[in-house]
Amino acid sequence: MSRPLRVVVRVHAMPPEHNAGAEHMLVGMMRPLVEHGHDVQVWLSQHGGAHEPYVYQGISVIPLASRLDFGSAVRKADLVLSHLESVPSTASLARGFGKPMIVICHNTHRPSFRDMAAGGTTLAVYNSRWMAHEAELFFAEYPKGVRPRQSLIVRPPVVATEYATKPGGAVTLVNCSKEKGGEVLAALARRMPEQQFLAVTGAYGEQILPDLPNVEVLEHVRGEDMRTQVYARTKVLLMPSSYESWGRVGVEAMASGIPVLAHPTPGLCESLADAGVYVDRNDVDGYEATLRQLLTPGDYRLASKRAKARSAELDPSEDLAAWCAAVEEAANA
């Protein structure tokens, strides 16, 4: 191992207060750095419930309300890391103090790439091959000097043993916003009154929560509770999302052999691969017919077998080993 590094991270929020895929990917990538002996500090840029520094899964977290000096932390860091809305301000400090900067990208929206076009990004980390390709197309318009110096693909790490359980009997949607498919869940629940549905509220977006006897609504579920509260009660997972850069929740479900019925976004097609069952989100008739067929014993056994096989293919060990090596190289360059 290289010398222990001081890694300073700036993000908006962290679990358990914010249960979104981007934050869970961040935790999954920070834990191996801690296990490698590095000092990882995550500084939050928006107010939450905490006021004092705390430790989450071995990671030191400094809430905004603690009023500690983030600039001083950057000055003392070996390298700086950020994602999403926190990138511009964090990158400015990193450039000012001459620190290597790593940006983790979670989507293909232009701001995710544009924020790196000011230059100074040592390493850009993309969560999928298709996102890396989109970034290449974006940066082709820019001079080489402002592009990220290096790039790496790290698929959102899901350790299957942390999620695997015996599936339940419900058809489940996690995050019931319109964009994630809340209207599809509501339509299916009305058409299939004999089937139990589980609606898990999301961390963002206006939630569409049908008031129907066959729909149970679960409020915010912490990531560490998803196995017992969600997947242990789920038979089929719905992902009729209008956009997914990867689709972490689908990968979590497949650890238990839970089939995923999804809209074919590029991210979901890459993450679920042949294990996914795909129907256009605007085709509710198709969703109903496919779901009814999928719930028959023969079709379900085959889909479940494919899901478990895909879960095994997505073992994150190699990605995380490459990630730790890339971080150490960036800091020591």
277-312 confidence digits (pLDDT tens): 999 999 999 999 999 999 999 999 999 999 999 999
- Integer Cα distance of 20 and 254 in angstroms: 18
Query: Quick one: angle between helices 284-294 and 297-313, nearest 10?
Result: 90
Residue 17 has what pLDDT?
A: 64
Residue 67 binned pLDDT confidence (cut-offs 50, 70, 90): confident
What's the CATH number of domain 6-157+316-332, 3.40.50.2000, 3.30.565.40, 3.40.50.1820, 3.30.70.141? 3.40.50.2000
How many C-beta atoms surround the C-beta of residue 4 within 10 A? 11
Q: Rg for the chain (alpha carbons), in Å? A: 20
Residue 50 has what pLDDT?
A: 77
**Could you tell me the end-to-end alpha-carbon distance of the chain, in angstroms, rounded to an integer?**
15
The number of residues in the chain equals: 333
Write the CATH number of the domain with boundaries 160-313.
3.40.50.2000
Give pLDDT tens digits for 33-47: 999 999 999 999 887
Q: Write down the number of H helices and E strands in the chain.
A: 12, 14
Q: Greater confidence, 243 or 115? A: 243
Query: Domains of the chain: which residue ranges?
Result: 6-157+316-332, 160-313
Q: Greater confidence, 241 or 17? A: 241
- Integer Cα distance of 141 and 129 in angstroms: 20
Indicate whether 315 pLDDT > 60.
Answer: yes
Residue 92 binned pLDDT confidence (cut-offs 50, 70, 90): very high
**Could you tell me the maximum CA-CA distance found in the chain, to the nearest angstrom?**
62
Residue 21 binned pLDDT confidence (cut-offs 50, 70, 90): low
Residue 203 has what pLDDT?
A: 78
